[in-house]
């Protein structure tokens, strides 16, 4: 996770470098350390160092790290010629390296020659079955080819070992949700909530999935997660507010015939509606009538 | 109090400085030798998996109240059932670290290499110092010390009349041996410097047993009382919204 101070530091350095204030190498180091994705900048400033023999030689052995970083950034920006040059230099320096092998496989992938890239990745994976990056490349490649079931298979294989990697869980959750496999997606979102219980986005997505699944119990649960989102965001999340209204409407309809359960928070939906109205009044007064009719059609009481 | 000893400048030139320089050089040499002998060991998938498993189980324990009771129970069953739960380690199957060490010659070999690179140069330099430099008073520290420091600073001279602030050559060797870490981190870079005291600590930390921590994690997961905290959130959300509207 990138903290706020780190992010502002990156931005400040980026600004400084962009305006010709120097410090390009520090910027690149920071980007590498925080693993943020600023490929265009990395490509630009990294190349300016690499193309200047004097600057390059002051780096010492870090020069090769920079070549790697620029190569990856170049592939991300689809300037494959640059990437190819960088990899060639590295290949010359470290002929047997697996790390360079990985870059070569990535270049194949960037070119779109899937079969060859997959072959290269598989052979690398055979030598080192615990390489997380290659596992993730495999998933990404399967997704890029539209082979969703393949991506799921790879992700499951990856999560079998690296089961604490929440980014992978998130990817899997999104894939399942896109395939309308909501039960599986709900499981993944639960896993995400467990690993980072204060991230409101996971609560929101989990609630969305539960609401989509339907059924009285699920919708009641969904409403609870929408409320936790409201609590975590301080009521700023419009989607969560709408969610509460929709859930309340659905619950009222589903529970109509049955004995009325004691409601825990009878005011919640009306409060959510009021909050929505207030927000619309402030930010989009033109759409207020639309909102009011929508809410009216949902009106539960 | 006895009159101050006057130390010959030749002692400085031929004992104090050579000893220090040799110690530094040996430290550097040892670093490169151990770097050459170090063998890369691919991590064991089982151990990686267990580490991740513990992490995930810990997450489950810490945030249990944020997921519905049914989901929690399903997960707990998955982790700790007695048939094939991930955290369940059958009795007897858990081999202790000692046995594992003997069954894997690679590990023993690695430890021996580490040991050799530490012990051999140490014995050699100690013998060398003893042979050439024994009995010198090599330096004087600029502040007085109590008698208890005599064994630390005047190793090798058995004279009770010499003031404690004088340092014998053998003690100078020991001071260098343990005190050059800062210098090494300057010469070899931050992470590379490792003095002997640290190395010894690493050795004693060896023999960590993952199956034990799996069992402990299972036990603490078993006693978790699940109390779904989400119903409370509805009321809290109400309070937040009330504040927002007003």
Can you spell out the DSSP letters for B85-113? Answer: -TT---TTT---HHHHHHH-HHHHHHHHH
Q: Which residues of A touch B49 (CB under 8 A)?
A: 160-161, 163
Task: Answer whether residue B4 is part of any domain.
Answer: no
Q: Which of residues 204-263 of A touch B (CB under 8 A)?
A: 221, 223-225, 227-228, 230-231, 234-235, 244
Average pLDDT, chain A: 87
Q: Which long-range contacts (CB under 8 A, 24 or more apart) does A39-42 make?
A: A39/A72, A39/A73, A39/A74, A39/A76, A39/A77, A40/A73, A40/A77, A41/A14, A41/A17, A42/A69, A42/A70, A42/A73
Find the domain containing B139 and state its range: 9-245
Residue B135, pLDDT score: 79
Question: A271 with B241: CB under 8 angstroms?
Answer: yes
**Which alpha helices (DSSP H) does B38-104 contain, by range?**
45-62, 69-80, 97-103
Which residues are registered as beta bridge partners of B137? B168
CA A31, A41, A88: angle at the middle one, nearest 5?
85
B27-81 pLDDT tens trace: 888 888 877 776 666 677 778 888 888 888 888 888 888 888 888 988 888 888 8
- A111 CB contacts (<8 Å, ≥6 apart)? A80
Task: Answer whether residue B85 is part of any domain.
Answer: yes
Which residues are registered as beta bridge partners of B140? B166
Judge: A235–B241 Cβ closer than 8 Å, yes or no: yes
- B86 CB contacts (<8 Å, ≥6 apart)? B53, B78, B79
Task: Answer whether residue B64 is part of any domain.
Answer: yes
Question: Does residue A300 sit at the B interface (CB-CB below 8 Å)?
Answer: no
Cβ-based burial of A25 (10 A; exposed 0-12, middle 13-18, buried ≥19)? middle
Number of compact structural domains in chain B: 1
CB nearest A163 (choices: B52, B68, B231): B52
Residue B152, pLDDT score: 82
Cβ-based burial of A114 (10 A; exposed 0-12, middle 13-18, buried ≥19)? middle
Nearest CA in chain B to A268: B238
Cβ-based burial of A57 (10 A; exposed 0-12, middle 13-18, buried ≥19)? exposed
Specify the DSSP element, H or E, that contains B168.
strand B166-168
Question: A202 with A194: CB under 8 angstroms?
Answer: no
pLDDT tens digit at each of 301 positions of chain A:
677 888 888 888 888 888 877 788 888 888 888 888 888 889 988 888 888 888 888 888 888 889 999 999 999 998 899 999 999 999 998 888 888 999 999 999 998 889 999 999 999 988 888 888 899 999 999 999 988 999 999 999 999 888 888 899 999 999 999 999 999 999 999 999 999 988 899 999 999 999 999 888 899 899 999 999 998 988 888 999 999 889 888 888 887 766 555 555 677 888 888 888 888 888 888 888 888 888 888 765 4
Residue B204, pLDDT score: 47
- Chain A and chain B share a number of CB contacts under 8 A equal to 99
Interface test with A, best of B49, B234, B236, B239 (most A CBs within 10 A): B234
The yes-or-no verdict on residue B6 having pLDDT over 50 is: yes
Task: Answer whether residue B2 is part of any domain.
Answer: no
Alpha-carbon span A91 to A144, nearest angstrom: 27
Judge: A271–B242 Cβ closer than 8 Å, yes or no: yes
């Amino acid at each position: 996770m990138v903290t706020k101070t780190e992010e502002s530091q990156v931005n400040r350095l980026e600004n400084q470098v962009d305006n010709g204030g120097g410090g390009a190498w520090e910027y690149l180091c920071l980007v590498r350390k925080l693993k943020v994705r600023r490929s265009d900048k990395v490509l630009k400033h990294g190349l300016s160092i690499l193309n200047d023999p004097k600057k390059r030689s002051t780096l010492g052995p870090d020069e090769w790290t920079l070549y790697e970083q620029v190569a990856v950034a170049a592939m991300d920006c689809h300037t494959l010629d640059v990437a190819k040059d960088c990899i060639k230099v590295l290949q010359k320096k470290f002929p047997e390296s697996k790390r360079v092998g990985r870059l070569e496989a990535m270049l194949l992938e960037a070119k779109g020659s899937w079969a060859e890239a997959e072959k290269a990745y598989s052979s690398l994976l055979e030598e080192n079955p615990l390489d997380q990056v290659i596992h993730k490349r495999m998933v990404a490649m399967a997704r890029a080819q539209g082979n969703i079931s393949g991506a799921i298979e790879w992700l499951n294989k990856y999560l079998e070992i690296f089961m604490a990697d929440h980014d992978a869980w998130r990817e899997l959750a999104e894939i399942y949700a896109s395939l309308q496999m909501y039960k599986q997606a709900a499981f993944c979102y639960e896993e995400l909530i467990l690993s980072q219980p204060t991230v409101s986005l996971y609560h929101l997505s989990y609630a969305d999935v539960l609401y989509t699944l339907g059924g009285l119990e699920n919708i009641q649960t969904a409403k609870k997660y929408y409320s936790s989102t409201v609590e975590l965001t301080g009521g700023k999340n419009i989607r969560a507010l709408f969610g509460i209204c929709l859930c309340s409407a659905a619950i009222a309809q589903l529970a109509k015939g049955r004995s009325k359960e004691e409601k825990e928070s009878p005011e919640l939906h009306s409060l959510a509606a009021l909050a929505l109205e207030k927000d619309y009044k402030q930010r989009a007064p033109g759409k207020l009538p639309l909102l009011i009719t929508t809410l009216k059609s949902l009106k539960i009481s | 109090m006895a009159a101050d000893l006057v130390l010959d400048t030749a002692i400085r030139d031929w004992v104090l400085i050579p000893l220090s320089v040799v110690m530094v050089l040996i430290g550097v040499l040892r670093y490169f030798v151990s770097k050459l002998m170090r063998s890369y060991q691919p991590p064991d998938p089982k151990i990686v998996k267990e580490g991740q498993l513990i992490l995930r189980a810990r997450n489950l324990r810490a945030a249990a109240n944020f997921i519905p009771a049914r989901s929690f129970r399903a997960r707990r069953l998955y982790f700790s059932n007695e048939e094939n739960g991930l955290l369940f380690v059958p009795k007897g199957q858990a081999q202790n670290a000692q046995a594992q060490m003997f069954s894997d010659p690679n590990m023993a070999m690695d430890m021996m290499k580490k040991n050799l690179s530490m012990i051999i140069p140490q014995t050699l330099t100690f013998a060398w110092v003893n042979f050439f430099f024994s009995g010198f008073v090599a330096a004087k520290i600029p502040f007085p010390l109590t008698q208890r420091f005599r064994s630390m600073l005047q190793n090798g001279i058995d004279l009770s009349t010499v003031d404690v602030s004088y340092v014998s050559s053998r003690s100078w060797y020991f001071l260098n041996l343990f005190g050059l870490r800062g210098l090494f981190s300057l010469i070899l870079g931050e992470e590379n410097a490792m003095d002997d005291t640290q190395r010894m600590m690493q050795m004693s930390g060896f023999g960590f047993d993952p199956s034990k921590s799996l069992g402990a994690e299972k036990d603490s997961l078993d006693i978790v009382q699940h109390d779904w905290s989400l119903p409370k959130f509805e009321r809290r959300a109400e309070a937040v919204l009330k504040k927002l509207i007003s």
